[in-house]
Chains A and B, each alone.
Chain A
Amino acid sequence: MSAPVLRVEDLTVEFAAPGGPLRAVDEVSFELAEGEVLGLVGESGSGKTLTCRALIRLLPSRRARITRGAVRIDGLDLMTLPESAMQRVRGERIGMIFQNPMTHLDPVMTIGEQIGESLRFHKGITRREAGRRAVELLRQVGIPDPGLRSRSYPHSLSGGMRQRAMIAIALAGEPRILIADEPTTALDVTVQAQILRLLLDLRDRAGLSIILITHALGVVAETCETVAVMYAGRIVERAAKRTLLRRPLHPYSQGLIRSQPGTGAPLAELPSIPGQPPSLAELPQGCRFHPRCAYAIPRCREIRPPLADAGAGRRSACLRWQELAQAS
């Protein structure tokens, strides 16, 4: 693959709390190549959304702070840029779409005006020209009758159409990277398939690189090239999609894959992961997964396992990945 368009190194986000800072994202590192679709998988609270918001320095709370790490695009470290320059980065280099379009669209502005606003800010074009380009963008994201729809308000659009409109806004500044945060979770399966298809088409047509945040492994299997699995703020495994889904090298990824219903024998007991994810205030020492892990040994309680190179471009943060590899 070509040189990475995005390189994230040791990104760390902490929340200020009375008992000392809580580390919600812990030394996360990954790369994104041009045209790559990277799936960021994990359960709620695992830090996947926070990681992506940290990339564009839009943290959800004043108490959250990026304490370490670098995010490089073309050699430029976003973490050291002044805020005025970051406003250009958001939209022109990295676009972002969210799970719930209704809360991220302005209810009292038409869709066309919202796309136009973005166009005028990033492209410095006239209102009239922006209106024309907005209709063109709506056509590109597959909205039927884009001329009419650009004059509609968000409430009059269906869930799928709103998500398409949000994608159009994100694309207005012609970014090379798109972060899609659970873009299809609130949608019905038939509409979900349409939106995923659209994202892949945009990748093929415009060479967009995509970070797809999702908790659905089925979505990953169908759309991503590479996958990073997050647990309690850390990336625990990173690999090409096929190898990760076929032969996971971390007990957590293994557990996630096996606990999916619909693959095994009907009515049989699903292999579930015991317990529940830890809260940030009570993170276990050593490997954060060890209290729920069937493979845990005493060493797992003491050592923080590094995201070790497991060959062929895959990495696992399990002390016993070699044994897992032999077993599978």
Chain B
Amino acid sequence: MTALLEVRHLTVHYPLPFGLAEVMTRRPRRVVQAVNGVSLSLERGETLGLVGESGCGKSSLGRAILRLTAAKSGQVLFDGTDVLALDKAGLFAFRKRAQMVFQEPHASLNPRLSVAKALAEVLRVHRVCSRTAIEARVLELLETVGLSADLGARRPAALSGGQCQRVAIARALAMGPELLISDESVSALDVSIQAQILNLFMRLKREMDLTMMFISHDLSVVRHVCHRVAVMYLGRVVELGPTEQIFRDPKHPYTQALLRAIPRMDPDAAPPAAAAASEPPSPVALSAGCAFHPRCPQAMDVCRDPPAPALRRSDQAEVACHLYPV
């Protein structure tokens, strides 16, 4: 297998609006350090899960890979070419090969376009097929995602959440992408519908040989559909490894806390223990050293000192924690 996508030291910072305090004191503008030097790669045909609490930078990372958000520094190599250096034409061609499905199904579709028109627009703009073939291709796409042809005339407002998400998936698939990034695409759906959409993703992945990045805060979903999982905490990947390994034997104290907090379906399980104390701090004022140390039950002196621990191999996984020295 070869890597389809390789992310190297990717950093995304969002500047905060200038406050009076900054102007008066001539201090530099404060920034939200959303993604801090993340490196990871995706093999062709693999599904990588990206998990973490809200604000950990998982969506920013996904968006930066597709250049929907500007990265501050780093490299995104897609099939060998650096996405961040692409010019307009290059970016247009890249978008054909890498697509995204978003969380809010209704918000990501144009409310004034019927489903068929929305799909036809994509086909036309990207010149995927000849004008005469567009209609047939739209019907084919609807069928691929399990929608009946008569839904094509409807506008998004007349669709349910699950149907909308199918349309969004059809739109992403219209130009036959190799990489599909799903950003919380099943989080807003009810359980019975969520299972249908997850099945659809798994089937499409098999049939079209897609490479997928699955961003989700729902660890059970990630466990079900992903080959490997990257756990993010405040802009950094703290653990990365095969799904089975991460869930069976989590190494990083944060991964352990996260897994302990998932409500289990087992009716005989003990009620929730007081999990990781406190809440994730703001990504504006990151503490020096390991970002997790203020919440970590096993924090040592070294954790407070910069630099933050880097990812190191431990077993089959990689962990960024001082508990696992080289």
Binding site for B on A (CB under 8 A): 43-44, 158-161, 188-194, 196-197, 200, 215-219, 221-223, 241-242, 245-246, 255-257, 259-264, 266-267, 269-274, 276-277
List 10 A-B pairs, minimum CB-CB distance, nearest first: A262-B220, A218-B263, A272-B195, A259-B195, A261-B224, A43-B190, A188-B53, A273-B192, A193-B275, A193-B272
How distant is the Cα of A190 from the Cα of B275 in the complex, in angstroms? 6
Decide if B263 touches A221 in the complex (CB within 8 Å). Answer: yes
Any A CB within 8 A of the CB of B322: no
Any A CB within 8 A of the CB of B207: no
Given contacts A193-B275, A216-B263, A221-B264, contact A260 B191 (CB under 8 A): yes
Given contacts A188-B217, A190-B276, A267-B202, contact A219 B263 (CB under 8 A): yes
Q: Which of B156-194 contact A (CB under 8 A)?
A: 160, 162-163, 190-194
Decide if B271 touches A256 in the complex (CB within 8 Å). Answer: no
Query: Which A residues are CB-close (under 8 A) to B274?
Result: 193-194, 197
State which of A197, A215, A241 has its C-beta within 8 Å of the C-beta of B190: A215
CB distance from A125 to the nearest CB of B (A): 32
* Cross-chain pairs A/B with CB under 8 angstroms, 25 sampled: A43-B191, A43-B192, A159-B279, A189-B219, A189-B262, A190-B53, A190-B258, A196-B263, A197-B274, A200-B272, A221-B266, A221-B267, A222-B264, A242-B267, A256-B192, A260-B195, A260-B265, A261-B223, A261-B225, A262-B223, A266-B225, A266-B243, A270-B198, A270-B224, A274-B196
Q: Which of B247-282 contact A (CB under 8 A)?
A: 257-258, 260-276, 279-280
Q: Which residue of B lies closest to A46 (CB)?
A: B190
Decide if B272 touches A196 in the complex (CB within 8 Å). Answer: yes
Decide if A222 touches B53 in the complex (CB within 8 Å). Answer: no
Any A CB within 8 A of the CB of B54: yes
Binding site for A on B (CB under 8 A): 53-54, 160, 162-163, 190-196, 198-199, 202, 217-221, 223-225, 243-244, 257-258, 260-276, 279-280
Query: Which B residues are CB-close (under 8 A) to A256?
Result: 191-192
Decide if B243 touches A270 in the complex (CB within 8 Å). Answer: no
Query: Which B residues are CB-close (under 8 A) to A276?
Result: 160, 162-163, 192-193
Query: Which A residues are CB-close (under 8 A) to B162?
Result: 276
How distant is the Cα of A272 from the Cα of B26 in the complex, in angstroms? 58
Decide if A261 touches B202 in the complex (CB within 8 Å). Answer: no
Decide if A270 touches B195 in the complex (CB within 8 Å). Answer: yes
CB distance from B229 to the nearest CB of A (A): 11
CB distance from B59 to the nearest CB of A (A): 14
Given contact pairs A190-B258, A266-B224, enumerate 10 new A-B contacts (beta carbons under 8 Å): A194-B272, A194-B274, A221-B269, A242-B268, A260-B220, A261-B194, A262-B262, A270-B198, A276-B162, A276-B192
Query: Which A residues are CB-close (under 8 A) to B260?
Result: 193
CB distance from B263 to the nearest CB of A (A): 3
CB distance from A240 to the nearest CB of B (A): 9
How distant is the Cα of A246 from the Cα of B243 in the complex, in angstroms? 27
Decide if A189 touches B217 in the complex (CB within 8 Å). Answer: yes
Decide if B199 touches A272 in the complex (CB within 8 Å). Answer: yes
Decide if B261 touches A193 in the complex (CB within 8 Å). Answer: yes
Query: Which B residues are CB-close (under 8 A) to A255?
Result: 192
Query: Which B residues are CB-close (under 8 A) to A267?
Result: 202, 224-225
How distant is the Cα of A161 from the Cα of B279 in the complex, in angstroms? 9
State which of A197, A200, A221, A270 has its C-beta within 8 Å of the C-beta of B199: A270
Query: Which B residues are CB-close (under 8 A) to A257?
Result: 265
Query: Which B residues are CB-close (under 8 A) to A261?
Result: 194-195, 198, 218, 220-221, 223-225
Query: Which A residues are CB-close (under 8 A) to B276?
Result: 190
Q: Which residue of B lies closest to A43 (CB)?
A: B190
How distant is the Cα of A197 from the Cα of B53 in the complex, in angstroms? 19
